Every structure is written in structure tokens, then in C-alpha cells.
């Protein structure tokens, strides 16, 4: 008989007892000696207690019910700070606030001490984090799986306007949210080769021999659902070398070599790759991808076996693997290997099971971001997997040949093996062939996948492709980050929206309510004041809260077109210089973006924007009407400060290039109006808010495609046809905003004028400027702007990650919620 588990709500007094207990017995301190970092640690441990109780309850329930469980595999999780969200989820915020007060401490000050675990690059990693929140909140049995990088996303600084990268040592001060589970360590095989060895009955079977062992140590981060007992686990793997005694080499007395080998194995989880585009083709990156997959499949299969023994035919009823992009695509090969080599099944049932449990989400259309791996890199590391993939491909090609004999081109395109030049494996093809569902992340994105990127596959298996538009968690992206707006909404429609975001529709009637308009404007102003203080602190630039806050926050990429935004600022500046008395709407431009350290053009664009700021911010002719701030080290924590204060949300990617975007949703949810192209989820946002409440401009995806493929895009013609555009381009050519770096920054001009302007900044320039003028005009009409902002908030219900996850559960995983009750 297991002991009863009841969850009791601590009083503020009890909670401060808990806090003091942890301060004393974990930090060895009395309150009077504790510093900010100690307050943080003690508070985290106090909250963790409540989460662990729930986690134990959750595990018990699942051991009993043995439900189907989804396993989300992602190389990246951009969690952001956890303390406030965990306090909110467990219902302890008010208790904690009071408890801190009782001890003369301030909760907000402590919250602001927490570092931000940045284990991801951008949208894909943040989406994974929103999904974990929704899975737990909706009571879906789920595990997140990822890697525990010692160094996460680099910290960004600026020197003379250039990006500089610093190591992110997020584990340095300890990370109380994780629990190392050495008892659940898993072995991972690497290297060796495949032999054909006779097995029982004399049949020769391929056997992987000569491999070496590494180990994966799980570190669990608890993810508490909001207002439910469910706590799910994000399990991050840390690579560890085999113990010294396993080393032959060691016993041969070659000590230094043994240590080097350990170092090599353990470096697998050392650092997050800070590029989200050009596939690195690096051995270490492949090793990371394999390591995640091998550890995870082993862990899931072990759990399955504990619950269901060798009843492998039950796998599709009990297990789902969701591949977050192709990075974990080796799951297909690893599950096959497990079923064939370890469970001893034959090919056909193994393949049926594999396909029934795997599914794949595509997050990018850019051809340069589609992963392929040289066979020559893969073979020495995972020879058995390469062999299995060849066999998958052989059978697949045979089946395609039956259907489309006489179309060798199609066969070549669909093959997992790319044979022109160096032999490579195409991970997207592997993921599609090995999955029962493939999803895009917005309607347009899925359509473009179907008709362009993987058309042959969609023709062959139309039902395999589904569209599931991304979403964001309302807990972090409204309730926690914008308490002023959240309470104002609660006062009008109650707080049901927190778990049912569609309820925001009930705000619609308040769009024309003067009182609510004024309240929303006042809240925005207060948030803008807070951000101004932050900008002052970070950049030493002063923002006027009555100016329009024009915000672009996202990774730095040419397709996202921070450059187009910069060109608009240059245009405004030129207009003011030409006539300083001109009536221009005061604007404060906020940029937040990291460039991949190896992405030359992205770094030039950062330098350009910083250069524009330098020229514009202090120009007496401008008289404070334009302010440009590039906030250093953009990350989740900074997003939480910028988003509530934004008036205008820049979503200006070249149409057909942004898969979805999720910042667009967060900003609109916080009452910013979008200026954007018909790209990604912008299209669905426009449909939801109505054309009058968004500023749409630019070419459509079809028009971009047409111009790019026919060569109809003529930068010089556009230059000659638009005097203002020509002025902006001349400034770029002449390095007006580049100081001593003019020669280097001229590459930006060259990309536009000499290399064809691949991202169509020139083509969209005029229509962008006009959209900006519409935005400025509306901003001057405060009640009209407020009404549009309210309509945006009211229309964001669809963009909840709860809706997205419900769709995954129903359309892909066939997964049911399981509620976690207290135990008697």
C-alpha cells in the first residue's frame, strides 16, 4: 500500500518557514546573511517542493493507468525563467508574495535574479517550451526530451556596434529546477561496424559489433500544468564517458589518452549550435542528434517494457514520438534498430510499428536549412543505422517504381540517398517516409510544403500531410508577462481565458467602450514606461513613452528583413533632414536579435542598425522624434519585457519564407498592431482580426516566387523609379551610417544592388512605407488605435498553444488526457 498523497496549500507563514528551512539547510545561511542569489535558491526550492508532490502523484497515476504517452524530441528548448511560471501554475504567487513580505523581502526583486536557460536558438525551441506548458495544463501524458548543453545560446554584447559573443554559463550558479536521475542512466553505442553473423536456425543476420559505449545521464526538469495536478517531465541528457574501468586503454597504462577519450565523449553535450540555418555538416552536431535519439528511444522502450513486457504490437497504442524538425530524424532508424536487433522482430512488423509511432513537424521552407548528412560522416559513427536507412530506402524506391515507372527524376528527388556528388542522406525524406503524419506550422506553410518543397511525397501520400498552426501559451505570454493587462481583462470577462483563450472573444464588445479603451491605453503607457527604464539601463538611450514603440524582435535573418525596417528608419531620417519642421510621428524603434556567429550578412545588419542609432538618436534636427535601440542579448526574459510595451509589431518577412512566426501572436495578444506581409501565420492573424486592424503590405508568396524564378525582379529599375528609395540606397552605398566601417557595410548595398536582392527589400519598400504611414495616421487617433488593439487581443484565442496541442493530440497522436487525482 502506497502512502496517501494530499496536496495542501501552505499559508504565507508556512511558506516562509519552508523558505527559511531551505536557506538554512541548503545554503547554510540565516536570513540576515543571505544575498539575492540565496533568496532565489531558497525560493526555488520552496516552490519545487509543491511541484515534486504533484510529480509523484502524476507518476503514480500513470503507473496505474499506463496511458498512451507522447514523447516530444527536440534539440532545443527555450524555457525562459521558470520561477514565476511555476508559482503561477501551482497557485502560490500570492502566498509567496506575502511570505517574502513577512521576511522583509520583495518577490519581484528575487524573480529578477533568475538566469534564463537558453537551450535553443529561436522559434522552434520556444515552441517546444510552449507545447510542454500546454501538454501539462491539458493533462496529456507527455515527456519532453532534449540535451543538457553546458553552454546554451551565447550571450550577446556589442562592441563599436558589432555583435560579440560570450559563453553562456547558465549552470554556474547551480540550477535547482533539475533533478539528476543517475538511476535511469542509459547506454549508447557508437562506432564499430556491421558483420553478418549466423543466428539460430543458421540464418545470417546483420550484427553491429565493435561499438564503444557512452552514457546518457537524465536530468529532469518538472513542468507544472496550470491549475491541474499534472506535472510532466522535460528530460535532458548529459553525455558521460564509460567509467574508467571499462577502458582497455586505461589498463594499458595510457592515462592521457584515456582522459582525452573521456573528454571527447563528454563534449557531445557541451554546447548548443548557435545557427538556425546553414546546416553545419559537423560530426559533433550529428553526434548530438544521434545521442538525443539513442538515449530517448532507450528510455521510452525501457518504460514500455516495464509496463507491457514484450508485447511490442501494443507500441502504437502506448507510444508516440514527435520529431521537432529533422534534427531527431534518426529516431526512425533507431526504433527500427531496436525492434529488429533487440526485440528480434522481422522487418515488416518493425516498419509498421515505427511508422505508426513516429511523426514529423517541418519548421522551415528554406532549402539551405534542410538537413543532409554525408554518408562518410555517418558510417563510422552509426554503421548499423546507415545500413537500416539504405534498406528503408531500397524498399521505398521499389514501391515508388511500381507507381511511377518511367519517371527517374521523381525517383531521384524522392530518394533518401542523394547521389550526385558526395553521397548524402536527406533527413527530411527519411522523416517523411518513416512517419504516419507530417505537419506544417501554418496554413500557407503547409500548402507550400505540399506544392513546392516535398510535392512528390504529398502527391504520393496526400493524407500524410496536415496543417497545424503554431500557438503560444497564454500563461507566460499574457498572464505572467503582462499582469496589468491580464487583470484588466479579468475585470471584464473573468479569468477563464487563461485555459480557454477563445474566451477573449468576449472582449470584442469592449472595443468601442471608451472606458476600456482608456484603460488599455493607460496600461500600454505604463508598460512603455517600464520598458523605457530598461532601455535606458541597457543602452543608455531615452525613450518617450508617448512615442510609437515600433518593435522587431526575432533571430537576425535576411529573410526576416530587419534591413527593410532599417531602410524605413533611414527614409524617415532623410525626410526630417530635408525639412526639420516636418510633422513626423515620434517613434522609438526596438530591435532584439542574435546573429549566428558565422552569418556574415546578419552581423553587418546589426552593425548597420547600431550605426543608424548613433547618427539618429542625438541629431538635434531629429529632436528626439526618432530613437533607435538595439537591445543586447535578446532572449525570452527580454521578450517578456518588450512585448507588453509594443505598439507596432514588425512581421515583415519575404512572403513564402517565414514558416509561421510565433512572436507575431505574442505581440498581438498584448495589444500590438501588426505590420506584416502575407506570410506564415500573419495570414491567419489577418483573417482573425480583420483587414482594418492590421497593416498588410508587399508581394504575395506567389508573386515573390514568380519574380525570383523569372528574373523579373530588377533592383536598378526600382532604384530609378523611386527617388526616396534611391536616396536610402545611396546612403547605404556611401556608408552614411557606418562610420569607419563603411567599406565593410557596403556588402549590404551589394547584396541589394549587385546580387539581385534575394529577399525583395526593394520590391516591397514602397508598399511598406505606405503601410507605415497608415500605421502612423491611426496611432494619432488614440481611441481608434485602442479599439484596433482591443480587437487584436480579442481575436487571438485561436493562437493558443492549447489549441495547437489539442490538434496534435487528435490529428496525429490519438492521445487522451488523464487527470491526476489525490491518492487516499
Half-sphere exposure of 646 (CA within 13 A, CB side): 32
Ramachandran angles phi, psi of 213, nearest 5°: -105, 140
The DSSP bridge partners found for residue 69 are 319
Site for ligand 26V in 611-670 (CB under 6 A): 658-662
Q: Report in angstroms how near the CB of residue 575 gets to ligand 26V at its nearest.
A: 33
> For residue 63, what is its C-alpha cell?
503507473
Give the 3-state secondary structure of residue 220. strand
Q: Which of 155, 235, 528, 555 is catalytic?
A: 555
- Is the Cβ of residue 281 or residue 690 nearer to ligand 26V in the bound state? 281
Q: Report in angstroms how near the CB of residue 484 gets to ligand 26V at its nearest.
A: 27
The DSSP bridge partners found for residue 71 are 143, 321
Instruction: Give me the residue whose beta carbon is nearest to ligand 26V.
Output: 123
369 forms part of the interface with ligand 26V (CB under 6 A) = yes
Q: Report in angstroms how near the CB of residue 149 gets to ligand 26V at its nearest.
A: 12
Q: Which of 126, 262, 557, 560 is catalytic?
A: 560
Nearest CA to 139 out of 437, 499, 564 is that of: 499
Q: Report in angstroms how near the CB of residue 276 gets to ligand 26V at its nearest.
A: 4
276 forms part of the interface with ligand 26V (CB under 6 A) = yes
527 forms part of the interface with ligand 26V (CB under 6 A) = no
The DSSP secondary structure of 303-341, one letter per residue, reads HHHHHHTT-GGGHHHHEEEEEESSTTTTHHHHHHHIIII
DSSP assigned state of 789:
H
Q: Which of 61, 230, 269, 662 is catalytic?
A: 662
DSSP assigned state of 813:
I
Q: Report in angstroms how near the CB of residue 513 gets to ligand 26V at its nearest.
A: 33
Among 156, 229, 470, 552, binds ligand 26V (CB under 6 A): 470
Ramachandran angles phi, psi of 329, nearest 5°: -65, -20
37 forms part of the interface with ligand 26V (CB under 6 A) = no
676 forms part of the interface with ligand 26V (CB under 6 A) = no
Q: Report in angstroms how near the CB of residue 78 gets to ligand 26V at its nearest.
A: 10
The DSSP bridge partners found for residue 213 are 189
280 forms part of the interface with ligand 26V (CB under 6 A) = yes
Q: Which of 22, 666, 686, 803 is catalytic?
A: 666
> For residue 525, what is its C-alpha cell?
503607457
Q: What distance in Å separates the CA atoms of residue 111 and residue 43, rounded to the nearest whole number?
A: 9
Q: What distance in Å separates the CA atoms of residue 298 and residue 290, rounded to the nearest whole number?
A: 12
- Is the Cβ of residue 86 or residue 361 nearer to ligand 26V in the bound state? 361
791 forms part of the interface with ligand 26V (CB under 6 A) = no
553 forms part of the interface with ligand 26V (CB under 6 A) = no
Half-sphere exposure of 2 (CA within 13 A, CB side): 13
Q: Report in angstroms how near the CB of residue 728 gets to ligand 26V at its nearest.
A: 27
Q: What distance in Å separates the CA atoms of residue 668 and residue 647, rounded to the nearest whole number?
A: 9
- Is the Cβ of residue 279 or residue 614 nearer to ligand 26V in the bound state? 279
Give the length of the chain.
824
- Is the Cβ of residue 527 or residue 800 nearer to ligand 26V in the bound state? 800
Site for ligand 26V in 147-176 (CB under 6 A): none
With contacts defined by CB under 6 A, name the span among 250-258, 362-370, 758-766, 806-814 that binds ligand 26V. 362-370
With contacts defined by CB under 6 A, name the span among 270-278, 341-349, 451-459, 762-770 that binds ligand 26V. 270-278
Among 219, 363, 524, 803, binds ligand 26V (CB under 6 A): 363
279 forms part of the interface with ligand 26V (CB under 6 A) = yes
Classify the C-alpha dihedral 37-40-44-45 as positive or negative.
positive
Classify the C-alpha dihedral 522-528-530-536 as positive or negative.
negative
Q: Report in angstroms how near the CB of residue 660 gets to ligand 26V at its nearest.
A: 4
123 forms part of the interface with ligand 26V (CB under 6 A) = yes
Q: Report in angstroms how near the CB of residue 414 gets to ligand 26V at its nearest.
A: 22
> For residue 7, what is its C-alpha cell?
496536496
The DSSP secondary structure of 459-516, one letter per residue, reads HH-GGGEEE----B-HIIIIIIT-HHHHHHHHHHH-SGGGT-GGGGGGGGGGGG-HHH
Whether 658 contacts 679, CB under 8 Å: yes
563 forms part of the interface with ligand 26V (CB under 6 A) = no
E strand or H helix that includes residue 427? helix 427-433
The DSSP bridge partners found for residue 439 are 361, 466
Q: Which of 22, 355, 554, 587 is catalytic?
A: 554
The DSSP secondary structure of 156-171, one letter per residue, reads EEEETTEEEEE---TT
Among 275, 404, 526, 538, binds ligand 26V (CB under 6 A): 275
- Is residue 363 flagged as an active site residue? yes
Whether 696 contacts 686, CB under 8 Å: yes
122 forms part of the interface with ligand 26V (CB under 6 A) = yes
127 forms part of the interface with ligand 26V (CB under 6 A) = yes
- Is residue 666 flagged as an active site residue? yes
- Is the Cβ of residue 95 or residue 296 nearer to ligand 26V in the bound state? 296
364 forms part of the interface with ligand 26V (CB under 6 A) = yes
Whether 380 contacts 361, CB under 8 Å: no
Classify the C-alpha dihedral 308-312-315-321 as positive or negative.
positive
The CA–CA distances, whole Å, from 129 to 121, 599, 806 equal 12, 26, 16
121 forms part of the interface with ligand 26V (CB under 6 A) = yes
What percent helix, strand, coil does the chain show, rounded to 5?
Answer: 55, 15, 30
Among 357, 441, 605, 688, binds ligand 26V (CB under 6 A): 441
680 forms part of the interface with ligand 26V (CB under 6 A) = yes
Q: Report in angstroms how near the CB of residue 196 gets to ligand 26V at its nearest.
A: 35
437 forms part of the interface with ligand 26V (CB under 6 A) = no
With contacts defined by CB under 6 A, name the span among 121-129, 147-155, 524-532, 766-774 that binds ligand 26V. 121-129
- Is residue 662 flagged as an active site residue? yes
> For residue 18, what is its C-alpha cell?
519552508
Count of positions on this chain that bind ligand 26V (CB under 6 A): 22
Q: Which of 363, 627, 635, 713 is catalytic?
A: 363
With contacts defined by CB under 6 A, name the span among 135-143, 217-225, 276-284, 391-399 that binds ligand 26V. 276-284
- Is the Cβ of residue 362 or residue 482 nearer to ligand 26V in the bound state? 362
Among 40, 45, 92, 124, binds ligand 26V (CB under 6 A): 124
118 forms part of the interface with ligand 26V (CB under 6 A) = no
Q: What distance in Å separates the CA atoms of residue 53 and residue 90, rounded to the nearest whole number?
A: 11
- Spell out, one character per residue from 315 to 334, where the chain touches ligand 26V: x when CB under 6 A holds, - when not: ----------x---------
- The C-alpha angle 349, 351, 357, rounded to 5 degrees, equals 100
With contacts defined by CB under 6 A, name the span among 104-112, 361-369, 742-750, 793-801 that binds ligand 26V. 361-369
Q: What distance in Å separates the CA atoms of residue 518 and residue 782, rounded to the nearest whole number?
A: 9
DSSP assigned state of 126:
H
- Is the Cβ of residue 93 or residue 665 nearer to ligand 26V in the bound state? 665
With contacts defined by CB under 6 A, name the span among 269-277, 404-412, 598-606, 769-777 that binds ligand 26V. 269-277
Nearest CA to 760 out of 507, 511, 558, 579 is that of: 558
Give catalytic residues, as residue numbers.
363, 554-555, 560, 662, 666
Residues near ligand 26V, by CB under 6 A: 121-124, 127, 273, 275-276, 279-280, 325, 363-364, 369, 441, 470, 658-662, 680
Amino acid at each position: 500500500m502506497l502512502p496517501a498523497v494530499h496536496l495542501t496549500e501552505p499559508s504565507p507563514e508556512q511558506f516562509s518557514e519552508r523558505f527559511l528551512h531551505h536557506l538554512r539547510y541548503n545554503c547554510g545561511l540565516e536570513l540576515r546573511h543571505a544575498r539575492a542569489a540565496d533568496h532565489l535558491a531558497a525560493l526555488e526550492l520552496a516552490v519545487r517542493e509543491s511541484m515534486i508532490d504533484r510529480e509523484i502523484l502524476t507518476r503514480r497515476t500513470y503507473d496505474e493507468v499506463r496511458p498512451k504517452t507522447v514523447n516530444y524530441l527536440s534539440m532545443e528548448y527555450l524555457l525562459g525563467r521558470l520561477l514565476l511560471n511555476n508559482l503561477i501554475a501551482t497557485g502560490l504567487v500570492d502566498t509567496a508574495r506575502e511570505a517574502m513580505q513577512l521576511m522583509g523581502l520583495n518577490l519581484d526583486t528575487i524573480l529578477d535574479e533568475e538566469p534564463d536557460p537558453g537551450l535553443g536558438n529561436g522559434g522552434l525551441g520556444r515552441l517546444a517550451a510552449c507545447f510542454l506548458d500546454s501538454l501539462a495544463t491539458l493533462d496529456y501524458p507527455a515527456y519532453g526530451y532534449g540535451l543538457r548543453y553546458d553552454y546554451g545560446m551565447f550571450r550577446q554584447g556589442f562592441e563599436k556596434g558589432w555583435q560579440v559573443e560570450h559563453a553562456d554559463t547558465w549552470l554556474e550558479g547551480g540550477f535547482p529546477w533539475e533533478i539528476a536521475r543517475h538511476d535511469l542512466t542509459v547506454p549508447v553505442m557508437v562506432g564499430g561496424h556491421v558483420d553478418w553473423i549466423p543466428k539460430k536456425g543458421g540464418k545470417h543476420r546483420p550484427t553491429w559489433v565493435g561499438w564503444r559505449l557512452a552514457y546518457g545521464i537524465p536530468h529532469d526538469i518538472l513542468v507544472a500544468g496550470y491549475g491541474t495536478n499534472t506535472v510532466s517531465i522535460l528530460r535532458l541528457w548529459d553525455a558521460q564517458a564509460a567509467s574508467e574501468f571499462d577502458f582497455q586503454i586505461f589498463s594499458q597504462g595510457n592515462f592521457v589518452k584515456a582522459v582525452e577519450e573521456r573528454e571527447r565523449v563528454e563534449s557531445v553535450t557541451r554546447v548548443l549550435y548557435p545557427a538556425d540555418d546553414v546546416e553545419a555538416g559537423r560530426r559533433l552536431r550529428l553526434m548530438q542528434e544521434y545521442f538525443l535519439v539513442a538515449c530517448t528511444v532507450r528510455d521510452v522502450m525501457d518504460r514500455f517494457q516495464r509496463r507491457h513486457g514484450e508485447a511490442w504490437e501494443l507500441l502504437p497504442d502506448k507510444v508516440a514520438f514527435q520529431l521537432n524538425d529533422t534534427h531527431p530524424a534518426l529516431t526512425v532508424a533507431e526504433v527500427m534498430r531496436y525492434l529488429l536487433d533487440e526485440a528480434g522482430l522481422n522487418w515488416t512488423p518493425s516498419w509498421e510499428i515505427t511508422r505508426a509511432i513516429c511523426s514529423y513537424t517541418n519548421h522551415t521552407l528554406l532549402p539551405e536549412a534542410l538537413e543532409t548528412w554525408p554518408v562518410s560522416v555517418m558510417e563510422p559513427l552509426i554503421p548499423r543505422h546507415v545500413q537500416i536507412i539504405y534498406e528503408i530506402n531500397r524498399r521505398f524506391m521499389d514501391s515508388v517504381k511500381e507507381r511511377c515507372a518511367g519517371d527517374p527524376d521523381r525517383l531521384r528527388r524522392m530518394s533518401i540517398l542523394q547521389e550526385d556528388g558526395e553521397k548524402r542522406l536527406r533527413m527530411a525524406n527519411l522523416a517523411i517516409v518513416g512517419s504516419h503524419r507530417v505537419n506544417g506550422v501554418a496554413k500557407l506553410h503547409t500548402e507550400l510544403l505540399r506544392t513546392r518543397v516535398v510535392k512528390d511525397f504529398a502527391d504520393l501520400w496526400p493524407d500524410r500531410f496536415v496543417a497545424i498552426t503554431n500557438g503560444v501559451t497564454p500563461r507566460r505570454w499574457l498572464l505572467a508577462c503582462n499582469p496589468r493587462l491580464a487583470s484588466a481583462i479579468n475585470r471584464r470577462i473573468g479569468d477563464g481565458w487563461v485555459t480557454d483563450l477563445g474566451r477573449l472573444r468576449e472582449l470584442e464588445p469592449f472595443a468601442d467602450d471608451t472606458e476600456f479603451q482608456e484603460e488599455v491605453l493607460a496600461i500600454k503607457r505604463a508598460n512603455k514606461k517600464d520598458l523605457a527604464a530598461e532601455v535606458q539601463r541597457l543602452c543608455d538611450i531615452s525613450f518617450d513613452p508617448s512615442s510609437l514603440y515600433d518593435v522587431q524582435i526575432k533571430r537576425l535573418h535576411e529573410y526576416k528583413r530587419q534591413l527593410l525596417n532599417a531602410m524605413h528608419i533611414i527614409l524617415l531620417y532623410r525626410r526630417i533632414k530635408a525639412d526639420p519642421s516636418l510633422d513626423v510621428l515620434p517613434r522609438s524603434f526596438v530591435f532584439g536579435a542574435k546573429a549566428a556567429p558565422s552569418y556574415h550578412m546578419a552581423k553587418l545588419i546589426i552593425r548597420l542598425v547600431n550605426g543608424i542609432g548613433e547618427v539618429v538618436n542625438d541629431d538635434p534636427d531629429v529632436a528626439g522624434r526618432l530613437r533607435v535601440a538595439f537591445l543586447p542579448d535578446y532572449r525570452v526574459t527580454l521578450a517578456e519585457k518588450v512585448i507588453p510595451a509594443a505598439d507596432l509589431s514588425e512581421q515583415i518577412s519575404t512572403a513564402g519564407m517565414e514558416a509561421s512566426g510565433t512572436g507575431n501572436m505574442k505581440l498581438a495578444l498584448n495589444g500590438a498592431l501588426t505590420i506584416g506581409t502575407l506570410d506564415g501565420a500573419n495570414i491567419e492573424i489577418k483573417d482573425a482580426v480583420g483587414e482594418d486592424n492590421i497593416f498588410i503590405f508587399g508581394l504575395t508568396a506567389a508573386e515573390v516566387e514568380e519574380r525570383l524564378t523569372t528574373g523579373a525582379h530588377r533592383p536598378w529599375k526600382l532604384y530609378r523609379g523611386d527617388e526616396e528609395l534611391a536616396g536610402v540606397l545611396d546612403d547605404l552605398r556611401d556608408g552614411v551610417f557606418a562610420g569607419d566601417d563603411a567599406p565593410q557595410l557596403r556588402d549590404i548595398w551589394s547584396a541589394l544592388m549587385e546580387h539581385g536582392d534575394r529577399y525583395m527589400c526593394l520590391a516591397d519598400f514602397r508598399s511598406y512605407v505606405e503601410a507605415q504611414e497608415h500605421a502612423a495616421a491611426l496611432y494619432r487617433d488614440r481611441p481608434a488605435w485602442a479599439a484596433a488593439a482591443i480587437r487584436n487581443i480579442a481575436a487571438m484565442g485561436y493562437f493558443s498553444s492549447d489549441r495547437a496541442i489539442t490538434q496534435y493530440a487528435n490529428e496525429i497522436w490519438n492521445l487522451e488526457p488523464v487527470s491526476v487525482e489525490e491518492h487516499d
